[in-house]
Amino acid sequence: MGVTKLSKVSVIVPRSEVPFVLRELSEFGMFHPSQPHSEKYDPKLDELSSKAFRTYIALGEIVRDASLKLEPGILDILAKGYHISKEKFTVSDWEDLVNRVEANAKPLIDEIGRALSIANEAEKTFSSDKALREALRLVSGFSIDFKQFATLKRVRIIFAVVTAKDLREVKKSLPEAIVVDTPLTKAESAVVIATPKSSGEFVEKVLRSFEVEPFSIPTDLPQNPAEAFKVVDGRVSETEKKLTESKQRLAETVKNNENRILALYEISKTAHSVLDEMKRSGDLKRMAVLQGYIPHTKEPQFKESFGRWIAVAEEVHPVAGHGHGGEHEQSDVPTLMSNPGFTNSFEVITMNQGAPRYGEIDPTAIIGLIFPIFYGIMFGDLGHGLVMLLFGVLLLARNAPSLKSWGRILTLAGLSSAVVGLLIGEAFGLEIKVFIPALGQLTLVELVERFHEGQPLAIPTINIVALKLMLKISILLGMAHLATGHLVGIVNDIRGKAYVELISERLPTFAMYVGFIFLFFAFLGARFQISALFSDYSRATPLFFFLHGPPVAVSGTIAVALLAGPLALYVIAKPAFIVMGKFPKESVGMAAMQNLIEGVFEKIPSFLSNTVSYTRLAVLLTVHASLLIALNLAWKMPFGSGIPLIIICNILIIALEGLIVYIQDLRLHLYEWFTKFYGGTGIVFRRFSSDTIRSEVEWKD
């Protein structure tokens, strides 16, 4: 289900023809490279890989510094649409591609590098002048000529700015010096220190201990602080203007070449990735061995395309015990997920846990059916559902590759929410039949109670009868969902021939869960009376609506049998397999005791907690309806003043609660369901030359 059968292929070619073969593999497309580890690299491919890497790094610095993006952000796409034209590179092989990319990138790298260097230098000069101006601003009120200080032969004059809190300590530390201070600000003071020439270094050390540096004016400026400030103040304006101009030139250069920069950056990254992996082409001196995986259905096409060389293909079969930590685990076999139609979009949810192993069932198709249903139940409202549906359609209409999956998911989730809202008679928290009587006839259960005994309620409330019904539906859906997870795990073990795990864990756990389901309904039929659980033959076991099972006592007996028998198997199976050598050697008694404790105190209680967790379907639907009940009280505000509040809050509810419902839906799948059968430890099948956004390679003859 959703996983394509693969073949492992090998092509043996002369090393001189490797670049051409790589071109053929690129045109073939569906090839997942898997080169064996080797200390030796193909010298030609190693050189090309390094060249592509240097170009990629140089362009990457420009992309990072200019904050360029391969694909616009979602807000830009929504506002402006998706308009990206791919730059085409027409080349004969990968060597030609790398050389062409390097030749095209070098002028851009040099031009933008020069512009960036000028801008950085202007930035540095501006920052330096600005800092000097602020320093001179503090002392610009002093009419001191620093040049005269240097003419004194026996006295050293030091000028500094000291914080007010350190000023007293500075004076105490320099008892023999003459210290004159003048407040500059509340926090700082200017000090002039007169000391003998021989004590100058000591004074500087004392000042440095307070993190104070003697103040001096650069020699290219007037040595009078007031005059120097005027000069620097004017210079700052000039450097700021130069900085602005240099940044504008840099921005214009980048903007005029943005698409080309990104295209070259992307294709150089792709080239490096491909060549770096394929350069490990075996230890033969004159022949290269290229290995990988292809879809089994493309095996004839592969042999035809590479028939002029030595091409070998062999179908890959899942190894017995695959994926359960055994010796035979195929860690290098990738998984090509193949989900047709709308189910393809739900691969993003599966990939939250990771890809399935090769030969394992891909649960994406099941998720594509169940995920929107769960979402619709928790977010049931015709109005909100239609808004979400329209937003999903908007994402699809923007035609952005990265948003297509989310557009489909939101469209289906919105449709499901609208259908549930129709069935419970709610649209924006209002009664549908009041506005559209024809649609009101489709209401099956009224979740919100607005009338009681024929009289309108002052404030609508949740219908307790309807809530109980939704809780029952949630529990039943949870049981079915969890049972499906257990069954998928059983099928995976059978397909992978993991019979030891199947007998020792999968089958007993599934049988115990079925026993728990019988016990659950028998308990309901016995009205929670343990004494009636095995003795009441008069009442049938309630299932759903008009459906009833066997008598309560029969259901209770079946439940105990399905719990006790499989539990015994769960306890003794592993010790038996340890004796048979199917499990790593350990204490048989300890294994039996551990399984007994785990079965009684972990597995059986977890059945209840996992199942009850699905009541969040009904609970979140109730929370959604309750929020809208509270919000719609604003309709009673005078002169329609509540309408803006209603509009804004509806938008917030759709956005925030829609996200919360998505997270809870995800939790039910990843935590409650996936843990029953799914590891997500597979390797994703990578096309030889991955899909690109800004660039396109056309191979010429």
Q: What is the DSSP string of 7-41?
A: EEEEEEEEGGGHHHHHHHHHHH---EE-PPP-S--
CB 194 within 8 A of CB 241: no
Does the structure show a pLDDT above 80 at 492?
yes
β-strand partners of 196: 155
What's the pLDDT score for residue 386? 96
Return the higher-pLDDT residue of 19 and 423: 423
Work out the average pLDDT over 46-65. Answer: 90
β-strand partners of 698: 90
Work out the average pLDDT over 377-384. Answer: 95
Element (H, E) at 229: helix 225-256
Question: What percentage of residues in the chain have a pLDDT greater than 70?
Answer: 95
Does the structure show a pLDDT above 60 at 171?
yes
Model confidence at 287, in pLDDT bands (50, 70, 90)? confident
Model confidence at 148, in pLDDT bands (50, 70, 90)? low
Least confident piece of the model among 27-31, 66-70, 451-455, 626-630: 451-455
Residues 6+ apart with CB under 8 A from 671: none
**Tens of pLDDT along 532-557?**
878 888 788 887 656 777 888 888 88
Least confident piece of the model among 200-204, 374-378, 421-425, 604-608: 200-204
What's the pLDDT score for residue 649? 93
Element (H, E) at 88: strand 87-91
Does the structure show a pLDDT above 60 at 323?
no
The pair of structure tokens assigned to 231 is 């000069």
Q: For the chain, what is the mean pLDDT?
A: 85
* Closest residue by Cα to residue 160 from 230, 226, 207, 205: 207
Does the structure show a pLDDT above 70 at 371?
yes
What's the pLDDT score for residue 331? 67
Does the structure show a pLDDT above 80 at 151?
no
Mean pLDDT: which of 34-38, 205-209, 367-371 is highest?
A: 367-371
Does the structure show a pLDDT above 60 at 54?
yes
> Rounded to whole angstroms, how far apart are CA atoms 688 and 27?
9
Please give the sequence-ordered ranges of beta strands (E in DSSP) within 520-620, or none if there are none: 540-544, 547-551
Does the structure show a pLDDT above 60 at 20?
yes
The pair of structure tokens assigned to 701 is 């003859």
> Rounded to whole angstroms, how far apart are CA atoms 670 and 476?
19
> Rounded to whole angstroms, how far apart are CA atoms 606 and 601?
9
Element (H, E) at 311: strand 310-315
Domains of the chain listed by start with CATH number: 144-223 (3.30.70.2750), 348-444+637-684 (no CATH), 469-614 (no CATH)
Tell me the one-letter amino acid at 67.
S
CB 516 within 8 A of CB 555: no
Length of the chain as a residue count: 701
The pair of structure tokens assigned to 222 is 């007037």
The pair of structure tokens assigned to 403 is 């948003």
Residues 6+ apart with CB under 8 A from 389: 410, 411, 414, 415, 417, 418
**Tens of pLDDT along 117-139?**
888 888 888 887 777 777 777 66
**Tens of pLDDT along 216-252?**
777 777 777 777 778 888 888 888 888 888 888 888 8
CB 640 within 8 A of CB 634: no
How many CA atoms, within 13 angstroms, populate the side-chain half-sphere of residue 83?
4
What's the pLDDT score for residue 22? 87
The pair of structure tokens assigned to 198 is 């021989």
CB 134 within 8 A of CB 163: no
**Tens of pLDDT along 632-688?**
988 888 877 889 999 999 999 999 999 999 999 999 999 999 999 998 888 899 888
What's the pLDDT score for residue 488? 93
> Rounded to whole angstroms, how far apart are CA atoms 618 and 621?
5
What's the pLDDT score for residue 142? 65
β-strand partners of 287: 14
Helix (H, G, I), strand (E, B) or coil at 426: strand
Return the higher-pLDDT residue of 180 and 433: 433
Work out the average pLDDT over 546-573. Answer: 85
Return the higher-pLDDT residue of 175 and 31: 31
**Tens of pLDDT along 385-406?**
999 999 999 999 888 888 889 9
What's the pLDDT score for residue 167? 82
Model confidence at 324, in pLDDT bands (50, 70, 90)? very low
What's the pLDDT score for residue 326? 38
What's the pLDDT score for residue 546? 61
